[in-house]
A and B are shown apart, each in its own frame.
Chain A
Amino acid sequence: MKSSYLALWLLLAGALAIFLIVGFSDDIKLGDYTVKKAPFAETLFPDSAKVERENYGLEASGGMEATLPEEIMPKEVPTDSLPKNILLFGDSMTMNLALRFAKYAKQNGHQMHAINWDSSNTKIWAETDTLSYYINKLKPDFIFISLGSNEVYFKDPYKRHPYVKQILSVIGDVPYVWIGPPTWDNRTAINDMLEATCRPGSFFRSSGMEFKRKKDKIHPTREASALWVDSIMRWMPKSAHPILADFPSDSLGKVNSNIILLKALNK
């Protein structure tokens, strides 16, 4: 090999060796910042990533039903018949969901607030104080979460697990239902992770449902979102904390959706 090629080869090989060592080493921190690593471990040893997920108490493939011992599987619980102060928050899917949820709220005597934050994801909600601000302000006693659609394409959604945990810790003891993203091309990993992280009976799995989509082929249309909400409310009696969820009648009249719109600008 010509000496120039040798020098170039040594440079490339040296760089690879350094990235390999860093990739398999403990986290390198610069102050509060953690230096990112090349994903060698996940590529070479996919099982090692699985071990790490298990360390979080998660298992992807089977979802909740496959991994939870029977004693902690959700049991049917009586419906809470009190009117609720409901908060729905999440990404751009939230808007159309909120329009239909508002009708259910009016029909069943609940109060409804919704926060639609365009292009938001679990990281954004976990790292800002927006959620705690609105929880303190609105004092909801039931929460719906619609997040995960902007994380469907992540190779390893388990990296988002800490953010999901953070959101759930802010919600605390308030009963909630996490509405899984309506995945559009058989990607189920994000749903698997959310399902495994949420309390039993607090996750509604939307993947696998058929949706009529908007032109972007991602967002369900308003009509499809309404049917989506109908499915969630039909499932509600099986959830960990069922609330009144009677089908809205046609004679409800004007319904105020109380939607707070946060632009993607704030990302």
Chain B
Amino acid sequence: MNIPELLQYIPDNFLTAIRSIGRELLYDPKAPMLFSSGLFWMLFLLFLPIYGLVKGTKWKMVLFVVVFSLYFYYKSSGLFFLMLIGTSLIDWGLSHWIYRIKGRGGKLAVVWLSVAISLSILGYFKYANFFLWNWNQMVEGNFQPLDIILPVGISFYTFQSISYIVDVYKQRIAPTRYWIDYLFFLSFFPALVAGPIVRADYFLPQIEKNERPSSQKIWGGLWLIIVGVVKKALIADYIAQYNDLIFNEPSLYTGVQTLMGVLGYTMQIYCDFSGYSDMAIGLALIMGFRLGINFDSPYKSRNLTDFWRRWHISLSSWLRDYVYIPLGGNRKGTFRTYLNNFLTMLIGGLWHGAAWKFIFWGAMHGVGLAVHKAFKPVLQKIPDNWFTIFISWALTFVYVSLLWVFFRAADFESSILIIKNIFEDFQWSQIPQFAQARPAWCIMMAALIVFHFFPHKWSVAVQWAFIRINWVVKLIIFLIAVQLVIEFMSEEVSPFIYFQF
């Protein structure tokens, strides 16, 4: 339909258009609102001028963002936004109670009460069927899964809520004076459904300050959004189309095809998650808030400890501060240090999903961390040269990539089949054939790997260049990025991987 036809068409079909818009604005469980969706950007276009107007007055800004965030959550999880409001009310009330109680024992009891409530809600929605299934396996009962829908982002905001309560107890922060400030923190839409997991002591002072973002931050934010959109909606969604074939039917493919699928998934999960994080951080930056860095070129890591300092930093630092250190950290001897590491990663695995494959994935990372810690004194004696750097990097990369197989494959059997296929059916001669058959996929992967290994200062320099360039050039870059996404977009947009967690 061209524009003249459209102009003729609109008056007759005005009500249809209104109905279509209305339908788009309602909750659709099959189409949660993503930052990469057109609907989000249209709403953001409406949001931005009003936000610019109310930003000067804190209470207006807070109220407006809370309303928008709750609508955003409604679009993603339907009526579960009411549960988010309820959770925030309970947390806020309990945080004031903790603050007022004099004795340590009493404070601690309320902290445990709050943590128990948060984990019970998370446990019911996320783990009830898993535990029931396992229980029935043990007693050989007839398992009927409960009809439970997992609210999007519950794992993320539950961890934020726990950090707030613990920080109030530890007197790192005072409870927010107004409930709505806490609801703002918990429901802040850029970080609501997939993180980064924002710490109360880092974020709450920013609400109080209500700083107007500088022009640099606004354009820097837009740059991060463009990078995030390209990573998530262009690269991850495109390479996923091939990776899915391999993981859905592992027995059908050659060793080289399977290996490429595994490498592809290794890069896909990074682009998917870090791309979404970039968009979230960029949006927050435009609004004048900092969420902190969540990924720092994780595949440059030379050991597993380094990997977890660079991968999903907001989760790994949360686990360190609220699980590993309370368990005793490295203060209770060598064995306990390894055990604490292992247990922390086990919980990290379970956080990702209610399935044994996630627990296994977490456990194997725990084992890897313990082994690295055990051999650290020996490793430190090895001279640092290009060869040793390459070997340590390659070992880490291969270990991490192989564990992603268990993370992604449908079950343990499929994971073993995939790994076996790579080692038993690999033929060098298949590589040129593969490159010839899938040139776009190979080019995208190669470009991605090259960009990933760029020095950090180069990406900062590019960001600064974008901030400084002319408005028209910015517009052209934005248009090119979005058009590329449209060109490569699969007909059905892949869901964001970390939504399910």
Contact = CB atoms under 8 A, between A and B. Distances in A.
Interface string A210-226: 00000110110000000
A75 interface: no
B44 A12 contact: yes
Contacts of A7: 215, 471
Contact of B249 (A3, A47, A216): A216
Nearest to A21: B3
A265 B38 contact: no
Contacts of B437: 265-267
Given A5-B218, A13-B45, A45 B13 contact: yes
A255 B266 CA distance: 43
B20 A45 contact: yes
Contacts of B249: 92, 118, 216, 219
B469 interface: no
A24 B45 contact: no
A11 B491 contact: no
B131 to A, nearest CB: 23
A1 B222 contact: no
Given A16-B41, A37-B486, A264-B253, A43 B52 contact: no
A1 B52 contact: yes
A130 to B, nearest CB: 13
B483 interface: yes
B48 A45 contact: no
B52 A26 contact: no
A14 interface: yes
Contacts of B38: 38, 40, 43
A138 interface: no
A249 interface: no
Contacts of A1: 48-49, 52-53
A44 B1 contact: no
A24 B486 contact: no
A26 B491 CA distance: 21
Interface string B1-22: 1110010010001001100110
B48 A26 contact: no
A24 B6 contact: yes
B478 to A, nearest CB: 5
Contact of A16 (B16, B42, B218, B434): B42
In which size bucket is the chain B interface? 35 or more
A159 interface: yes
Interface string A9-25: 11111111011010011
Contacts of B212: 2
Nearest to B248: A216
Contacts of B471: 7, 10-11
Contact of A264 (B1, B9, B245): B245
B257 interface: yes
Contact of B218 (A4, A118, A218): A4
Given A263-B257, A265-B433, A8 B438 contact: no
B9 A48 contact: yes
In which size bucket is the chain A interface? 35 or more
Nearest to B410: A215
Contacts of A29: none
A119 interface: yes
A46 B471 CA distance: 35
Contacts of B24: 43
Contacts of A215: 410-411, 414
Given A45-B20, A47-B13, A265-B438, A118 B252 contact: yes
A44 B20 contact: yes
A234 interface: no
Interface stretch (A80-88, A150-158, A199-207): A150-158
A35 B254 CA distance: 34
B45 A12 contact: yes
Interface string B457-501: 000000000000001001100110011001101011000000000
Contacts of B21: 44
B257 A45 contact: no
B213 interface: yes
A140 B165 CA distance: 73
Contacts of B245: 118-119, 264
Contacts of A159: 491
Contact of B9 (A11, A45, A153): A45
Contacts of A154: 491-492
Given A41-B1, A45-B17, A36 B254 contact: no
A45 B245 CA distance: 34
A221 to B, nearest CB: 14
B232 interface: no
A52 interface: yes
A9 B48 contact: yes
B234 interface: no
A231 to B, nearest CB: 24
Given A24-B1, A24-B6, A156-B491, A15 B482 contact: yes
B197 interface: no
13 contacts: A4-B214, A8-B48, A10-B471, A24-B6, A25-B3, A35-B483, A37-B486, A48-B13, A51-B1, A119-B245, A215-B414, A265-B253, A266-B437
Interface of A: 1-16, 18-19, 21, 24-26, 35-38, 40-41, 43-48, 51-52, 92, 118-119, 151, 153-156, 159, 215-216, 218-219, 263-267
Given A2-B52, A118-B252, 13 more contacts: A4-B218, A5-B48, A8-B48, A9-B45, A11-B475, A16-B42, A24-B3, A25-B2, A37-B486, A44-B20, A44-B21, A48-B13, A218-B248
